[in-house]
Chain A
């Protein structure tokens, strides 16, 4: 079946602009995660959704970052007033969540470049 998809694959924006990144999880996966991959920081957890709720937002680096999930499916990660240090690859993953196994399956990522 289809894997995790993310859009756009690449996003170039100017400092100070807002961006939205989208994730479509594997059908039936109730858990959804956002991670960030950068050269300096490696792979960092941002936020976890179970259904439409976010029980763990501990990785969001500042209040400029927010995420929502609707219908227990698609999720959007929004970064407001982007800064150059936000440049990274943003990865989304999904898993069966509380009802199933812990394995997280990753999408191809969105490469964000802030000029």
Chain B
């Protein structure tokens, strides 16, 4: 069965510092991996995805993520955090074909202090 783990409920970082939000996954075969962000009372906003190719994926708002097959991880990173990055972040996985359901992690709340 597919599963996603986000081991941290909350990540706190000071503005200007680098941030990492962790994600590990379990899926048979090669996965599609995604990061979404959710602001209060809003839907999910797509940040980036890994399908194939380069393990370092760049996405919206300066975020990037690194796919590590041996560690089954897909951690979200940003070199310099902004207060406006404070939100709820979800990692998701699906089988490597279009039209399959996303399995989400429980989410990590990122809090960036000024």
Contact = CB atoms under 8 A, between A and B. Distances in A.
Interface of A: 4, 31, 33, 35, 42-43, 45, 48, 50, 55-56, 58-59, 91, 93, 95-109
Interface in B69-114: 90, 94, 97-107
26 contacts: A31-B99, A42-B105, A42-B106, A43-B102, A43-B107, A48-B99, A56-B100, A56-B101, A59-B101, A91-B43, A91-B44, A93-B44, A95-B99, A97-B98, A98-B99, A102-B51, A102-B94, A102-B97, A102-B98, A103-B34, A103-B49, A106-B36, A106-B43, A106-B44, A106-B46, A109-B43
Interface residues of B, number: 23
B17 interface: no
Nearest to A105: B46
B10 interface: no
A42 B104 contact: yes
Contacts of B98: 31, 95-102
B26 interface: no
Contacts of A105: 46
A110 to B, nearest CB: 10
Nearest to A33: B101
